[in-house]
Each structure stands twice: as structure tokens, then as C-alpha cells.
Amino acid sequence: MSHRAGFVSIIGKPNAGKSTLMNALVGENMSIITPKAQTTRHRILGIVNTEDYQIVFSDTPGVIKPAYPLQESMMHQVNGSIVDADLILLMTDVNEKHDESDVIERLQGSLAPLAILVNKIDQSNEETVKQKIAYWQEKLQPKAIFAISALHKHNIQSIMDFIVDNLPEHPAYYEKDFLTDRNDRFFASEMIREQVFKQYQKEIPYSTEVIITSFKEGDTLHRISAEIIVERDSQKNILIGKNGEMLKIVGTYARKSMEEFFQRKIFLELFVKVIPDWRSKKNYLKQFGYED
């Protein structure tokens, strides 16, 4: 049989239980978990690899938290990850009282198979669950609806089976090997880069590079130093912000992402460095060993 691979977008409000679901889906079948924040469209939550398939789970930041700065570009990202998805899982809390029309609206543009996961059924009753299923059936006519408890791993295997059945034939998108230290550095730099994209106006992210200058692993704490490289002093001033406020925000959020990812306390130092036209200076990147 040929190999299958695809992007599965998990969408839903922040409290719907996405991360619990990920841990349930991925914990069992997982070779790597990579919240690799790509600057394009997918925020990768986890990758499940077997010989026959690769499932790339991606999160859609902000559908759902419209209070972000850079709202438009984030929304653009959400739409992108819906449009690009090979499969969409819409996660809802069985007791959710709020209007989900914002989510529904965004799904209109998608041709991908849709499954709806009605979560937290352990905190509900049969009647409510049935009503919810009927509601979604009518609202979106999804390809499947699963009543689940991510916390108690109830019905998780059927979701997995559904995903595998609906994955397109495609070679793997990512290497199937395990994480290495080099990858850890890479993920750390991507998490800083993600914050640079989220916190600043458009022109800044494209003229920055993030380089991890030191990565010291410990059992309870990783010490990580990074340089954010820009091309001009004016960019450096914007990155650092008044009294260093902006850089502090980037550092705080990046550190939180890393702590979640590495499951360690993180001590993170960020420096901003100006290198005129670094983008055209390949040798600069070489001396850091970032180009083979």
C-alpha cells in the first residue's frame, strides 16, 4: 500500500481540550511532538509516524482568541490552515454555551473532510450529548461526529482510525527520525521566531534571523541564549522597545512555549544584534554552523 501523509487541523476554543486531545492521540502513537511554529501557516502540535503514514497535527492559533495584536495576520493564518488542511477536527465542549458562529464562518471556505469532536462527555448526560450531536449534524453536515472524553481517552482510537482512513496518499512531509539536540536548538529558535512574528508589525519579522548561541541542557533547567539578528539600528530599537519592554514580551512568551515543549524550566537570554545585510552574507550563517 502506498504511503499516506497529511495536515490535520485541530480547531476549537482555547478551553475545548485541544491539548488533552493531542496528548491522548499522540501519546500512544507518537515518535515526536513538535510545536514547530512555522512562520507560514501551520503551528505544528505533533507528528505521528508509522511506516505507512505520517499525521501532522496542526493548531490554528487565534480563531478563537481575537484579542491578539496582529489580529489580521493571525486570522489570515487561521484561514490558511483551514484552507490547507487535508482534514479538519473541530473540537467543542459539550457544555459550551457560547456562539460558535465565528468558527463556523471560517469553515465555509474548506473542502477538507470535517469531523466534529464533542468533548467532555464525562461531564454531561446522554440527553445533552444527543442534542449537541443533532445540532452539529444540522449545522455543518460533517463527515463524522465523535462524542469523546479526551481526558479519559474515551473514543480516541476511533478518531485515529478516521484520520488514517481520510489521509491523502503523499510522501512524508517531515523526517521520521527522532529529535536530536540540533532539532532542539531549531525548535527553540522557531519559538522565538514565532513571537517575533506575533508581536511586531510586518516589516520586522522578515528582516530578522534567530540564532541559538548557547543551549545547555539540565535535568530540571535548560539555559538557552539567543541572538535576534536584524539589518538596521532602527529595527533593533523597535525590537527592544521602550525600556526593553517589547523584547521582554517576546522573551516571556517564547520561554513559556519552550517550557511546555521541553518540559523543563527554561532560563532564556535574548540579545539583539545588528548585522547590515546579513541576508546576503551566507558566510555569516556558516560560521554559526547553521548551514551544512
Residue-range domain boundaries for the chain:
4-166, 181-287
Ligand-binding annotation for 59, yes or no, is yes
Q: What is the mean pLDDT of residues 99-105?
A: 68
- For a pLDDT cut of 90, what percent of the chain falls above it? 29
CATH of domain 4-166: 3.40.50.300
Ligand-binding annotation for 17, yes or no, is yes
Ligand-binding annotation for 60, yes or no, is yes
Q: Could you tell me which residues come within 8 angstroms of residue 270 by beta carbon, excluding any fewer than 6 positions away? A: 192, 225, 226, 227, 228, 247, 250, 251, 254
Ligand-binding annotation for 19, yes or no, is yes
Comparison of pLDDT for 3 and 179, the residue scoring more: 3
Average pLDDT, the chain: 78
Ligand-binding annotation for 112, yes or no, is no
Strands 209-216 and 221-230: antiparallel
The pLDDT of residue 279: 59
Comparison of pLDDT for 234 and 185, the residue scoring more: 234
Comparison of pLDDT for 97 and 122, the residue scoring more: 122
Comparison of pLDDT for 68 and 87, the residue scoring more: 87
Q: What is the mean pLDDT of residues 97-115?
A: 74
User: Mind listing the pLDDT tens digit for each residue in 20-51?
Assistant: 787 788 764 444 444 444 433 456 667 888 88
Residue 15 has pLDDT above 80, yes or no: no
Ligand-binding annotation for 276, yes or no, is no
pLDDT band at 280 (very low <50, low <70, confident <90, very high): low
Ligand-binding annotation for 155, yes or no, is no
User: Mind listing the pLDDT tens digit for each residue in 197-221?
Assistant: 888 876 676 678 888 888 888 889 9
Ligand-binding annotation for 218, yes or no, is no
pLDDT band at 177 (very low <50, low <70, confident <90, very high): low
Angle of the 18-29 helix axis to the 156-166 helix axis, nearest 10: 80
Q: Can you identify the CATH homologous superfamily of domain 181-287?
A: K homology (KH) domain (3.30.300.20)
Ligand-binding annotation for 62, yes or no, is yes
The pLDDT of residue 168: 93
Ligand-binding annotation for 121, yes or no, is yes
Tell me the DSSP string of the chain: ---EEEEEEEE--GGG-HHHHHHHHHHHH-SB----B-SSS-EEEEEEE-SSEEEEEEE-TTSS-TT-TTHHHHHHHHHHHHHH-SEEEEEEETT--S--HHHHHHHTT--S-EEEEEE-GGGS-HHHHHHHHHHHHHHH--SEEEE-BTTTTBTHHHHHHHHHHHPPB---SS--SPP-HHHHHHHHHHHHHHHHHHHS-THHHHT-EEEEEEEE--SSEEEEEEEEEESSHHHHHHHH-GGGHHHHHHHHHHHHHHHHHHTSEEEEEEEEEE-TTGGG-HHHHHHTT---
The pLDDT of residue 283: 55
Ligand-binding annotation for 63, yes or no, is yes
- For a pLDDT cut of 70, what percent of the chain falls above it? 71
pLDDT band at 139 (very low <50, low <70, confident <90, very high): confident
Ligand-binding annotation for 99, yes or no, is no
Ligand-binding annotation for 6, yes or no, is no
- Amino acid at site 161: D
Ligand-binding annotation for 16, yes or no, is yes
Ligand-binding annotation for 14, yes or no, is yes
Q: What is the mean pLDDT of residues 98-114?
A: 73
Q: Could you tell me which residues come within 8 angstroms of residue 143 by beta carbon, excluding any fewer than 6 positions away? A: 113, 114, 115, 166
The pLDDT of residue 268: 97
The pLDDT of residue 191: 87
The pLDDT of residue 187: 80
Comparison of pLDDT for 84 and 74, the residue scoring more: 84
